[in-house]
A and B are shown apart, each in its own frame.
Chain A
Amino acid sequence: MLNIALPKGRLGDKVYELFASIGYDCSEIYSDNRKLVFENKENGVRYLLVKPSDVAIYIAHGAADIGVVGKDILEEGDFDIYELLDLGLGKCNMCVAAPNDYVEDFDRPLRVATKFVNIAKNYYISINREIEIIKLNGSIEIAPLLGLTDVIVDIVESGKTLKENNLRVYEQIMPISARLIANKSSYKFKGEDIDRLMEKLTKELAK
């Protein structure tokens, strides 16, 4: 039995459809209830629906064998897991965004608002820029508008939210997409099952 952790929400729905299309379906998942665990013994799968930011935690602790998670979560955390496949779903970019009229002042540390503290820190270390980070948990776009920070580091999908808040992409840090991850121990003992699933996924994604 493969325990698969999926992120609740839009990405999770897309990933489930992908898995179902290659023979790992579990129709119960469509039932309108509050269950978080769905099992299909015939297909040998058990799906766990968890908060997107928790998928990698479940995998790292062996509560699930494999899972799907955004690259942003993997880069922000430090998880001892295998990252087996780029599913190419949920594509977006991790960016530095700033007000449309922003001009960088190199005489002082840059003030950065973000919920991705480690990604921001690592990025600015890589370009040797001194920063002050203000960690926010949501509505990050407001921070530079209120003068709280100079820039933000956040995920940009279409750029619509930035535009509506008079912000623009200032620098691009990394592309983000959904990744198939596995617990290291699970891969040692269920490697054949995981490889079979990966092979089918790769074929399906190439179509």
Chain B
Amino acid sequence: MEEFLATMSKEDSLTYELSRLYKQWGYKEYRMAKFEEYSFYSDNRDFLSSKGILAFNNSDGRLMALKPDITLSIVKNAKLSDSLTKLYYNESVFRMSDSSLDYKEIKQTGVEVLGNIDEYLIAEVLGLAAKSLRKIDKDFVLSVSHMAFIPSLLSELEISENTKKDIIRCVKGKNIHDLRSICEKNGVAADKTELLSKLAGINGKINTVIPELCALACNNEMKTACSELEFIASSLSKSPLADRLFIDLSVLNNTEYYNGIIFQGYVEKAPSAVLSGGRYDKLAGKLRENTQAIGFAVYLDNLNLYYKKKREFDSDILIIFDTQSRSESLLSLVESFVDKGFSVRVEHSIPEGYKAKTVYSYENGALREVTAC
């Protein structure tokens, strides 16, 4: 199997490997239709990472959308169990692409847990996110943040919503110099500015940075978050993955939907995050009463670009046969190679640019090795 996976593209092999990982952890595959009513997505537009929604009219005139997001659809439609609903998916989403400036089909895989989310589940999902990243590249970083810090501090400040947006933009960009000048311009107290700057600048391994972070906790929300982070750090402390988990409070998501832990995953060869997730009780509660949720998505698009597989051979064996001669025994010869695990292509002549480890010509009922191409 491993040999077979090695021949697949990064995207295809990951789809298989991640599905296997999630199944091993007891998650059930969730399948869904490619489209849903447009109004559902337009009502929750702020949750979508891309603003464009590809819409069309169906046969009865209803405006439909090709799914721009999977999480929304799962939270709305999944059949909830009495206990926990643990799902994984391999789906396509249709979003506006930054590079092509047009809609693009993007392959996504991910997990969602719905129900009563506790600290163990948060640690399990974070662990799964880290394991998913390790499947992509052993050199990975999972940046972990918590909505209780910077958003809760901002909610205490008497500043306009636009100023809060400007500050959040600075935090996301680790832009402390502009953050300080915006705070000063808008009359934010010096001690709060200092605290915001320190929180935004925190960046270190989860095991080592938590004491520094918790020393800055100044309200109950932050203190609860600290105890949650301490539980996660201690749960994962014996795992080799722990070394790859970093606290980075510059990771921020929409406060209308997300609460609690949020995270983003990076691998060395990709220039932007390849995994994103977090706890979204606010969205879940909006769509399903008394439901909490946590999950993440792995963006498989572009991974083939960053993790190119060098194509050595198109197949193990190439057999050239003459159409003029009788070839009754050829099929059984090919089958015997395939049964032994070789990939075989049968052709009338060598296709242009084709590479095979061994090339045979089939003549008079027998194979004769010719110079490899």
Genuine A/B complex:
yes
Chain A interfacial positions (CB closer than 8 Å to B): 60-62, 80-86, 126, 183-189, 191
B174, A84: Cβ atoms under 8 Å?
Answer: yes
A90 shortest CB reach to chain B, Å: 15
Question: Complex: how many Å from CA A186 to CA B273?
Answer: 11
For B174, give its contact among A83, A126, A186 (CB under 8 Å): A83
Question: Complex: how many Å from CA A188 to CA B144?
Answer: 12
B270, A185: Cβ atoms under 8 Å?
Answer: yes
A116 shortest CB reach to chain B, Å: 18
Question: Complex: how many Å from CA A135 to CA B91?
Answer: 41
CB-CB nearest in chain B for A184: B272
B41 CB within 8 Å of chain A: no
For A60, give its contact among B143, B177, B271 (CB under 8 Å): B271
Question: Complex: how many Å from CA A62 to CA B141?
Answer: 16
**Interface size in chain B (residues, C-beta < 8 A):** 19
Question: Complex: how many Å from CA A67 to CA B245?
Answer: 26
* Interface-centre pick from A60, A81, A185, A186 (highest chain B CB count, 10 A): A185
Residues of B170-193 contacting chain A, CB below 8 A: 173-175, 177-178
CB-CB nearest in chain B for A61: B271
Contact with A along B216-251 (1 / 0, CB 8 A): 000000000000000000000000000000100010
B246, A188: Cβ atoms under 8 Å?
Answer: yes
B178, A83: Cβ atoms under 8 Å?
Answer: yes
What residues of A have a CB within 8 angstroms of the CB of B139 in the complex? 189
Q: A62-B271, A183-B271, A185-B268 are in contact. Are A83 and B173 (CB under 8 A)?
A: yes
B175, A62: Cβ atoms under 8 Å?
Answer: no
Question: Complex: how many Å from CA A85 to CA B176?
Answer: 8
CB-CB nearest in chain A for B264: A184
Question: Complex: how many Å from CA A183 to CA B173?
Answer: 10
What residues of B have a CB within 8 angstroms of the CB of A191 in the complex? 203
B137 shortest CB reach to chain A, Å: 10
